[in-house]
Amino acid sequence: GCRPRRPPGLSLHPPASRPLAFSLSLSRRVGASELRLSEGKFQAFLDVSHFTPDEVTVRTVDNLLEVSARHPQRLDRHGFVSREFCRTYVLPADVDPWRVRAALSHDGILNLEAPRGGRHLDTEVNEVYISLLPAPPDPEEEEEAVGVEP
């Protein structure tokens, strides 16, 4: 089962790399998940915006891809809240669990992907590294900086 573990690191994925429809649907539904299968790629998107990067864990066990997250009780606008979840995806038979990659966007969307056509592996547990990328630059700030003289 899912047991949260600290990932060795994270990286943020630019929002342009995920489908616009998913971005729009997630803005209305926190905790949403979307799965996409194509001939060459397994891809899943998951909203983990209520968690910090070090509270999210991704791992594979056999042909299962597990995402878990947990945060202790903390104050929000309605009072105190603690959250925990575990989502498990079944990887297609042609996906090599060792080739699963995870990236977390600046706005909390976890992008999980792996190429299809991989070889079958024996049962093993694989902790998947989550990489973090910085938020994209604000176009308005860049325009202001161009017009300023030293």
Q: Count up the domains in the chain and report the number.
A: 1
Is residue 9, in this structure, part of any structural domain at all? no
CATH assignment of the domain containing 85: 2.60.40.790
Q: Which residue has the higher pLDDT, 53 or 146?
A: 53
- 65 falls in which pLDDT band (50, 70, 90)? very high
Q: Which residue has the tokens 């070889």?
A: 119
State pTM to two decimals.
0.61
Is residue 51, in this structure, part of any structural domain at all? yes
Strand, coil or helix: 13: coil
- 116 falls in which pLDDT band (50, 70, 90)? very high
Is residue 105, in this structure, part of any structural domain at all? yes
